[in-house]
Amino acid sequence: MAGYQDLSEFERGVIVGAREMGHSIAKVEMKFGFSRTTISRVYREYRESGKTPNLRHRCGRKKIIQERDQRRLTRIIKRGRRATLLQIAADFNARSSTSVSVRTIQ
């Protein structure tokens, strides 16, 4: 079981999402295996600040896309809600400093 500081952004999002949907701490604990303390800390932090920062600063891996590209990708997705993944990737790669590729699973 991961400790409070070792949680990824996704795991923190799972906790916040489950609590926002109205699930109790006990249900989140049973379903996902996080401790009650971890769940309450993450959710309290989210309620107080509106975000769930990861405390594992600089774990050694560089970011795949920079903040500027992240903001651009968000705008592309909001602009074309019904766009396919291939269309989004093509639009992103048209003007980005970082190129992304899409793998299809069949």
Higher pLDDT, 78 or 61: 78
Hey, what CATH class is 1-59 in?
A: mainly alpha
Q: How confident is the model at residue 53 (pLDDT cuts 50, 70, 90)?
A: low
| pTM of the predicted structure, to 2 decimals | 0.46
Tell me if 36 sits within 8 A of 29, measured CB to CB: yes
Nearest-angstrom CA–CA distance, 96 and 36: 42
Rg, Å, the chain Cα set:
17
Summarize pLDDT for 37-49 with one digit per residue, the tens: 988 888 888 888 7
Q: Where in the chain is the domain with CATH 1.10.10?
A: 1-59
Q: How confident is the model at residue 70 (pLDDT cuts 50, 70, 90)?
A: confident
Give the model's pLDDT for residue 43: 87
